[in-house]
Amino acid sequence: MYCLPEEMAPDERLQQCVELFRSQHVAVHPFHHIQVRGFATLKAMVKRGAYANRERALERLSGFFYDLKHISSYAPYCQAFVDGSADGCANGATWDCA
């Protein structure tokens, strides 16, 4: 709402935001929807007791936010993601894509 003119009434600015999120533009670009669902899932897991140990949580979630941004940006436009983790590469793992 900070991008809208300050002269607009707060209710009118809020209505502009609602109209944006209901627009076709947002509907055809699902980035925010996917990202918000990912954050909601993480929040639900934390509320159920996951990641209670702060040190382990920081270690396990270190790439989560980058991964979620990547997935929400590209998932709507591809069939699958391949995890090219360092463990697989270091152990000489190969992919059979036949």
40 inside domain? yes
4 inside domain? no
What sections of the chain are H helices per DSSP? 10-22, 24-27, 31-47, 54-60, 64-74, 86-90
pLDDT band at 48 (very low <50, low <70, confident <90, very high): very high
Mean pLDDT score across all residues of the chain: 80
5 inside domain? no
Interatomic CA distance for residues 34 and 56, integer angstroms: 26
What is the extent of the structural domain holding 45? Answer: 10-75
61 inside domain? yes
Mean pLDDT to the nearest integer, 71-84: 76
The whole-model pTM stands at 0.54
